Amino acid sequence: MGKIFFPQYARYRKVGIEIDTGKSIMEHIKKAGGIEIFSECGGRGVCGSDIIRIESGLDSLSPLSNAEKKFQKQGKLKKNQRLACQAKVIKDKKDIIVFISNIGTYTVLSDIIKRDTELNPMAYKDGKNVYYFPDKKLDNYKGKILGLAVDVGTTTIVMQVIDLEKGDNIGNPIAFKNPQIAYGNDVISRIGYTINNKDGIKELQDSVVKAINENLKELEKDLGLNNREIRNSIYDAVVVGNSTMRNIFFGKDVKSLGFVPFEADDKSPVLLTAGKMGLEINENGMVYGPAIIGGHAGADCLADIIAARIYQSPEISMIIDIGTNGEVAIGNNNKIMTASCAAGGAYEGYQISCGTGAIAGAITEINIDEGEVNYSTIGNKPPVGVCGSGVIDLLAELFKNGTMNSRTRINKPFNIYNDMYISQEDINQLIIAKAGLRTDQDLLIKYFGINIDDVDRVFLAGAFGNYMNIENAMTIGLLPGISKHKYIRFGNGALAGAIDMLISKKIRNDSENLAKSIIHTKPNEIEGEGFLYMVADNMYFNKINQI
């Protein structure tokens, strides 16, 4: 019997995947785990993002589907190329060699703000034993007590191992693509998968757990340690994510998050044993999921608030976290309000023709001088597309140079590099994505009863906040036009908050009390029909945003 090989991945270069006839290449990829492939539509054959090239074994696959024929006519599928979700294996006698077209090592933000948090973890040593507060015995003390903090993002996962006796990092932060992206690039697609597939939640949960396990193994190898030396010493893990990501990680039903009123059935903190979840840390170790705030503002938004310490300060601060799921928080030690919106994948390299993720060759900065496009790419590689920060620059430059008017219209597609361009349809996707997030910002300020000038600090969380040109973001109206000095690049706030909750019982307790007091708003419901008009107004570029 033949096997399927993926030469771009070391583990599947010589050891192939057993063929399961009747199953698509995508289904084989999901079953194998550890293979990065995009599927914006969740495998329905309508997005065309899961293009593969068949190096050998093409005759072992089903004929082109109608969806593939459509993409072929459009010139998007070339010779020996297929869509992974449409190409089914119908013969098992020969090996099949597959190359994935849209692949690259992502540059993922793992930096976090630095602070001195008092070390007082839940897992501790007493005599010759390791306990979990208050007095649950976990193991005999074997020389170290470690913890694991994880930020499960819709697109990427970042994690850090911490020495819970010293507070030191063990190795560097580990960042990798969320394998669930093979099931769809947004939370709605993944919720739909759990609804339409009997074992969907377990399948999605296992994909992330397996990826974390594999990366912990790699950490041990990188540090030259014995097998399981780190994993067996991890007694506590804190895992944050938006409402859907957190609940899927803990195997909880997410159906209610896909339908009005878009609320999780259970928002309370979760605490399970590692052994029950299949997480390869100490089998008696505990895994904690902080509380969900409300709607799609999940444990990651709570972690942002914890890390920024806005709940301890009388000054009014705002947190803006731009990702596939956009989140905004505003408040101080008296009151905190939040809102969330589906920002979509347009700013993460999806949904636009010139877009790409933050991989080698992605354009991160753009300047247009007398019609000439100047750019910088990740790794100084030849351009392969434009990632989020580059897209913001591109829109701002098109506007400032008069190529695009304030109504966001261009006369013809604008060429960026070779056959790479941005079209009016692309711009429409981008302005819709930014308008919803900006509307949430404006309305939260209104609900809080202040003006934008009353905000003392604006924390920009996540990769966008770290890498974007703030002035250009204000120019296109993604961010409010205030003094640039009020903006603070926050790094990975969700991971920082997860670490705080990992190393401090007090902060973990603070987070649980805080989650109950935060006011989560749903501006679209509060404003009714007026909300759509506000979003429409924020689609346009107003010169007042130019600083």
- Output the six-digit token pair for 422: 């941005």
Average pLDDT estimate for 519-533: 93
Q: What angle do CA 487, 491, 495 make, to 5 degrees?
A: 135
Query: Residues 240-255: pLDDT tens digits?
Result: 999 999 999 999 999 9
Backbone dihedral angles phi then psi of residue 482, each to the nearest 5 degrees: -125, 180
Confidence band, pLDDT 50/70/90 cuts, at residue 104: low
Who's near 375: CB < 8 A, 6+ residues apart? Answer: 363, 365, 366, 367, 383, 390, 416, 417
In angstroms, the CA 58 to CA 17 distance is 16
Confidence band, pLDDT 50/70/90 cuts, at residue 350: low
Q: What is the 3-state secondary structure (H, E, C) of 227-280?
A: CCCCHHHEEEEEEEECHHHHHHHCCCCCHHHHCCCCCCCCCCCEEEEHHHHCCC
Confidence band, pLDDT 50/70/90 cuts, at residue 113: low
In angstroms, the CA 138 to CA 283 distance is 9
pLDDT higher than 80, residue 318: yes
Average pLDDT estimate for 59-71: 92
Q: Which residue has the higher pLDDT, 348 or 402?
A: 402
Lowest-pLDDT range of 31-40, 181-190, 396-405: 31-40
Topology of domain 3-100, CATH: Ubiquitin-like (UB roll) (3.10.20)
C-alpha dihedral (445, 449, 450, 455), degrees to nearest 10 = -60
CA-CA-CA-CA torsion sign (396, 337, 156, 431): negative
Percent residues over pLDDT 90 in the chain:
64
pLDDT higher than 50, residue 544: no
pLDDT higher than 90, residue 388: no
Confidence band, pLDDT 50/70/90 cuts, at residue 432: confident
In angstroms, the CA 156 to CA 486 distance is 28
DSSP 224: T
Confidence band, pLDDT 50/70/90 cuts, at residue 49: confident
Q: What is the pTM of this model?
A: 0.83
Average pLDDT estimate for 104-111: 55
**pLDDT (0 to 100) of residue 546:** 39
In angstroms, the CA 481 to CA 479 distance is 6
- Longest Cα–Cα distance of the chain, Å, equals 74
Lowest-pLDDT range of 41-50, 221-230, 435-444: 41-50
Lowest-pLDDT range of 6-15, 62-71, 237-246: 6-15
Domain with residues 123-301, CATH architecture: 2-Layer Sandwich (3.30)
In angstroms, the CA 141 to CA 235 distance is 11
pLDDT higher than 70, residue 102: no
Lowest-pLDDT range of 1-15, 289-303, 344-358: 344-358
Confidence band, pLDDT 50/70/90 cuts, at residue 162: very high
Q: Write down the mean pLDDT value for the chain.
A: 89
Burial tier of 430 (Cβ tally within 10 Å: 0-12, 13-18, 19+): buried
**pLDDT (0 to 100) of residue 105:** 56
Confidence band, pLDDT 50/70/90 cuts, at residue 543: very low
Q: Before 261, cis peptide (omega within 30)? A: yes
The domain locations on the chain are 3-100, 123-301
**pLDDT (0 to 100) of residue 470:** 93
Cβ(19)–Cβ(89) under 8 Å? yes
Residue type, 366: I
Average pLDDT estimate for 349-376: 84
Distances (CA, A) of 324 to 103, 110, 458: 19, 17, 20
